[in-house]
Amino acid sequence: MLMSTQANRYAHQLLDARAQVQMIPPLSANGPLSVADGYDIARSMIDIRTAQGETMVGRKVGFTNRKIWPKYGVSEPIRTPIWTPIFDETVRFTEDNRGIQSLDGALQPRIGPELVFKLNRTPAPDATLEELAECIEWMAHAFEIVVCPFPEWKFEMADSIAAFGLHGSLIVGEPKMLSAASRRSLAEVLPHASLSLSCGDELRSAGFGSDVLGSPMHALWHLHQLLKIQPQFPQLAKGEIVTTGTWTDVCPIKPGETWTSAFSGISLPGLTISFV
């Protein structure tokens, strides 16, 4: 377990690297870093960013797509999801599911298509999957821009937790309000939905809702369960948004490109984002 002073030091180091748009060696290069250490740094990050005037608005669940686990991790593949807090400074909503996004300050940016839930009530600690679904107000499609301060995207799991979960920004499409019947069917419908991701006229990637821990609902459930054993963090609460993980591998992006997505099997519009 890290001393609080060391966790704070690492948190400031990562924040400085982000502010100065500089890459740094993985924190684990300084010595062994456990998953618990990564979350200690994330806890320090919440305190620092809140003191600086940012507002925590939700959580990102990362590495929920089992198909991409073998591609990440140095000493061993990443084999379990992680989560990180997200703040108002990095979340924006599109108009008509279209937008323009600057990549200034984004280190090694990549794009991942995700599904976002917003909670309209606080889940009970012992809520079942069905009861958790009843807490969802709306869902929306989103593009997460992920960034990495570590050279060549090489890091250990604890590094990724500490480094904002590799979160850069979240671009959220039009929310779809959910009826009671829709909420009850989420866990069954979402695994069968598919998504395509294109750059210009070229298909770059595709995936299914089932690739996200079996269903994005299961990703939300995983987060709810994990927070039960992390008392240092606030539990899920009314008003939070939770982005549940990419449906495809994340793809490198650069200024001048326009990316689009399209769903099948679920009535959500795709997104079109141009990068500058």
Whose tokens are 């200034």? That residue is 104
Q: Give the pLDDT band of residue 75 (cuts 50, 70, 90).
A: confident
For residues 103 and 148, give the distance between their C-alpha atoms in angstroms, rounded to a whole number. 13
Residue 100: CB atoms within 10 A of its CB come to: 12
Tens-place pLDDT, residues 30-52: 888 999 999 999 999 999 999 99
Three-class SS of residue 234?
Answer: coil
Query: What is the per-residue pLDDT for 175?
Result: 96
> CB of 144 within 8 A of CB of 167?
yes
Tens-place pLDDT, residues 101-139: 999 999 999 999 999 999 999 999 999 999 999 999 999
Query: What is the per-residue pLDDT for 4?
Result: 84
Asked if residue 73 has pLDDT above 90, the reply is no
Query: What is the per-residue pLDDT for 99?
Result: 94
Higher-confidence residue of 210 and 74: namely 210
Sheet strands side by side (includes 272-275): 98-101, 272-275, 258-264, 194-199, 202-208
To the nearest whole percent, how much of the chain has pLDDT over 90?
91
Query: What is the per-residue pLDDT for 65?
Result: 93
Asked if residue 266 has pLDDT above 90, the reply is yes
Query: What is the per-residue pLDDT for 76?
Result: 83
For residues 145 and 66, give the distance between their C-alpha atoms in angstroms, rounded to a whole number. 19
pTM above 0.75, yes or no: yes
Whose tokens are 């519009």? That residue is 269
Query: What is the per-residue pLDDT for 231?
Result: 95
Q: Which CATH architecture has domain 4-275?
A: Alpha-Beta Complex (3.90)
Q: Name the DSSP letter for residue 81.
A: -
To the nearest whole percent, how much of the chain has pLDDT over 70?
100
State mean pLDDT over 228-254.
96
